[in-house]
A and B are shown apart, each in its own frame.
Chain A
Amino acid sequence: MLTITLAIFIPFLAALFVPSIYKWKPDKIGWFILIIPLVLFISLVRFIPRVAGGETISHTFDWIPSANIYFTTYLDGLSLIFGLLITGVGSLVILYSIYYLTARESLSHFYVYLLMFMGAMLGVVFSDNMMVLYVFWELTSISSFLLIAFWYHRKQSRYGAQKSMLITVSGGVAMLAGFIMLYAMTGSFSIRENIAMIGEFTNHALFVPAMILVLLGAFTKSAQFPFHIWLPDAMEAPTPVSAYLHSATMVKAGIYLVARFTGIFGGDAVWFYTVSIVGIFTLFWGSFNAVRQTDLKALLAYSTISQLGLVMSLFGLGSAALHEGYSDQSVLYAQATFAALFHLINHSTFKGALFMVVGIVDLNAGTRDVRRLGGLMALMPVTFTIALIGSFSMAGLPPFNGFLSKEMFFEAMLTVRHLEFFSIGSWGILFPILAWVGSIFTFVYSMIIVFQTFFGAHQPERLDREAHEAPMGMLIAPSILGLLVVAVFFFPNVVGDYLLRPAMSAIYPSLPNIAGAMKSIKIWHGPNLALWMTVGVVVIGFLLYASLKYWRSMYKVGPFRWGLDSVYNGALSMMERSSTVLTNRYMTGYLRHYLIYIFGIFLILTAGTLVLVGGVPFDFSNDSSITVNEYILVFGMMVAGVLMIFVSSRVTAILLNGVLGYSIALFFVIFRAPDLALTQIVIETVTTALFLLCFYFLPEVKKERVKRPAKIVNLLIAISVGTLVTVIALAVQGSNMFDSISIYFENAYELTGGKNIVNTILGDFRAFDTMLEVVVLFIAGIGVYTLVKLKSRKEGRDVED
């Protein structure tokens, strides 16, 4: 059905119209933009019953069929969840951004980038063809780059944008290599076909490398350890962007990828261990580092990292279900995937709400530093309520949806202890322990958000602005998310039956009964070990929070202080330095040197090829005899050429050059090529005028003092290049390696109606060449114009260097 394909393109098309709408109604633009995700969300919601009924919808049109690249969109349970998140959270974020961004900002850029991102993200989740997926994947990185650098006059914004771009794009390239390896194995770029065929290839030499490369893409995008360092710096983006890209959607693209490729790689021990260990460690590391943050947004960034780790580890565990087909055991492990999907949705609701709350606090109190905030509860009651709901949900407390998925998470972690394959042994116990420790830190930082911001003493003198409640409109979006947090707690199985179960069958296409076998989500499941773990988290977490000021200094000692950030910065500046050294070595600024490189490389490549293929059979037998006229012309040209070296004025040199050009035109006349002769004459005339113009700006020709060895080198290069060109011209005559292509043009008159075969070639047979040449000519003209006309102007804005 076409609508899914259309859904991908609607945001892109809408982005085209943003500038004109912006001109028309600059202060109302957000409301126009809001329509798009809202319409898309509603049309996707209408698919829910069909998809829940087990239907999948796909549509294909050819893109580059010769390279096996088809634009296939595919809607199943998994992509539906992501599609709903992208459009749903997207609508709320745009509604919020209408109030968050003032009309002074360049709103048209903002919404163009945002729509571009939305389209790209929909493309990622709806594409079945890996190449198409990759294109959209990189597009999300690019739009994220543009959005992080939205306030590009800030140095930190540019730094964060560059960092996220470098890390996610290099991950993306690794992923591309992985896709190509998969193609090399199975011969298909379709994910579904790969899932169906991969069974025969699990022992292929490329199987594990492809898996690792695809995982690199997923881990960089989803900010998994050790690639998580870009996410905190990405927080320089406007808060709506952080809420949308860097917590609800884009960072989940990696998780989507893992879920989608579970069908291909799941069931393998390497996949199981890599995904679950990286995930669980990221969970721990993210939450551990979140506690030390004083900036609320940085805290949320680390918390996002840790929550992404949580979901990732659950998908890792869930992949064990594919190890040995359908059994009671595999149902048990698939429960982890079920929990992962549930937490994915829950995280989007509560983290989106929290980001919006932090944005409100930042805007209406002038700071996001928890050391300066406090006592805002009375001043911002609605904001406080939403923050409370979001944080307690994140901490895993009832009656919020985070409690349910956290319990399921603990249960899944506890099942690892019983894992009997993958030679896990007693190491399995580490999973629940790390999960538990990570959850304690999660609890602590959730408390920091609520208590240090909204309780305690209000310090108006340390705030930049007088704190007050946000306007109604700004509170709508976070309130809706807050309500969802509570609603999902009370009716979890609505989500479970309509969204999660269809997604389960999408992740495990080889286990068709798995969706039905999932236990339904219970609010109260009796006092089991998972519940006691939660109780432990609350008790110990509360003690830790109370004693925070005693142990916080721990972060300042030893290994915790050196971050991966310094590794990244060091590597970057080292690369910059060494490439500067390397470039300066050969970029001397002397035109003479550059000509030496150009001609030298030309010599080596061309002469080398000629020697290697032995392509110099001279054959003069078919040549016609040379007339006196031609001798005279060639003699004249030689004289002009030799004289040019010795003249002292540039004008004379130009005129001599003209002699060469016009003589060539004469040759064309003799050889009966009037087209070429005409062109040559006019070109010669125009370029002579152009040269004379340019030389007006050049200084007088001065005798250059060149050392003798350099002169000899130049002489050698000049002579050998001249010889080589002559040899090539002769060799072309002598060899006949390919069939003549003139059969294409033989009946040119019947095909094109033109009697001038040269022009029919230019305009009809090889029109693509001509068109691109025209474009290149135009680009060159514009290039000259801009180089000459637009002298570098410093922007008036306060751009930090």
Chain B
Amino acid sequence: MKINDVILRTITKLVVFIILTFGVELFLAGHNDPGGGFIGGLVLSSALVLLFLVYDIETVQKGIPVDFKKVAAVGVLFAVGTGLGAVAFGAEFLTQTFEVFHLPVFGDTELATVLLFEVGVALTVVGTVVTIILSISEDV
């Protein structure tokens, strides 16, 4: 069945970038404003799901040749690894810390280890959601 979805496709091309940007923004905003790793990851994966819905799986995978199972695994590794990293510095498992740095362009910027942890969360969410949806939809 071939449906005429030119409008949907055109809009998607535009909207996906908006959603992706929004996802990254949410992810970074999480420290001080609503957002964070989980919601950021979800928004990112919803953009991907939209792509999969509008185009077919092959086309998308040609454009984004990423194995999402591995993305999820890397995410878990990040989340657990930052915990172990704290142990390596002699702190309790999963201790997070932060420090204010003076960076050339951004000025005084606060960098927190929780960011790495949240990267893990986001990657796991993206990887898992896409893996589940792909594996179910491919099973036709």
Contacts and interface: CB of A to CB of B under 8 A. Distances in A.
Interface of A: 674-675, 678-679, 682-683, 685-686, 689-690, 693-694, 696-697, 752-756, 758-760, 762-764, 767-768, 770-771, 774-775, 777-778, 780-782, 784-785, 788-789
Contacts of A756: 30-36
Contacts of B98: 752-754
A18 to B, nearest CB: 23
A774 B79 contact: yes
Interface string B97-118: 0101000000000101010011
A68 B68 CA distance: 44
Contact of A782 (B30, B69, B121, B137): B69
B15 interface: no
B49 A686 contact: yes
Interface in B1-53: 26, 30-39, 42-43, 45-46, 49, 53
A18 B43 CA distance: 42
Contacts, number: 136
Contacts of A682: 39, 42-43, 46
A723 to B, nearest CB: 32
Contacts of B138: 788
A674 B34 contact: yes
Given A755-B33, A756-B30, A784-B135, A686 B94 contact: no
A788 B39 CA distance: 27
Given A755-B32, A775-B79, A778-B76, A785 B131 contact: yes
A717 to B, nearest CB: 30
A693 B132 CA distance: 11
A66 to B, nearest CB: 14
Contacts of B120: 774
Contacts of A774: 75-76, 79, 120-121, 124-125
Contact of A686 (B42, B100, B112): B42
B32 A777 contact: no
A198 to B, nearest CB: 37
A693 B133 contact: yes
B49 A683 contact: no
Interface string B43-81: 101100100010000000000000001001101100110
For the complex of A and B, the 8 pairs showing the least CB-CB separation, nearest first, are A781-B128, A755-B32, A753-B98, A763-B114, A767-B94, A682-B42, A674-B34, A788-B135
Contacts of A759: 30-31, 35-36
Contacts of B110: 753
Given A686-B45, A756-B32, A788-B135, 17 more contacts: A679-B39, A690-B132, A693-B136, A753-B98, A753-B100, A754-B98, A756-B35, A762-B38, A764-B96, A777-B128, A778-B72, A778-B73, A781-B69, A785-B69, A785-B135, A788-B136, A789-B139
A662 to B, nearest CB: 14
27 contacts: A675-B35, A678-B34, A679-B39, A686-B129, A689-B53, A694-B136, A697-B139, A753-B112, A754-B114, A755-B32, A756-B31, A756-B34, A762-B38, A763-B36, A763-B118, A767-B83, A768-B93, A771-B117, A774-B76, A775-B76, A775-B80, A781-B129, A781-B131, A781-B132, A784-B135, A788-B138, A788-B139
Contacts of A770: 79, 117, 121
Contact of A781 (B26, B93, B127, B140): B127
A265 B67 CA distance: 60
A777 B125 contact: yes
A775 B38 CA distance: 13
B34 A675 contact: yes
Given A674-B34, A689-B49, A778-B128, A679 B42 contact: yes
A771 B94 CA distance: 9
Contacts of A782: 69, 72, 131
A369 to B, nearest CB: 51
Contacts of A685: 46
Given A682-B42, A759-B36, A762-B36, A690 B133 contact: yes
B76 to A, nearest CB: 5
Contacts of B26: 678
A650 B33 CA distance: 38
A694 B100 CA distance: 47
Contacts of B33: 755-756
B36 A675 contact: yes
Nearest to A674: B34
Contacts of A689: 49, 53, 133
Contacts of A775: 76, 79-80
Contacts of B124: 774, 777-778
B83 to A, nearest CB: 6
Given A690-B133, A755-B32, A778-B75, A767 B96 contact: yes
A696 B114 CA distance: 40
A755 B140 CA distance: 47
B73 to A, nearest CB: 7
A679 B23 CA distance: 12
B39 to A, nearest CB: 5
A678 B33 CA distance: 12
Contacts of A696: 140
A683 B41 CA distance: 11
A789 B137 CA distance: 11
A674 B26 CA distance: 12
A785 B70 CA distance: 12
Nearest to A783: B132
A764 B42 CA distance: 20
A768 B93 CA distance: 9
A136 B133 CA distance: 42
A727 to B, nearest CB: 30
A441 to B, nearest CB: 58
Nearest to B96: A764
Given A682-B43, A682-B46, A752 B96 contact: yes
A385 to B, nearest CB: 56
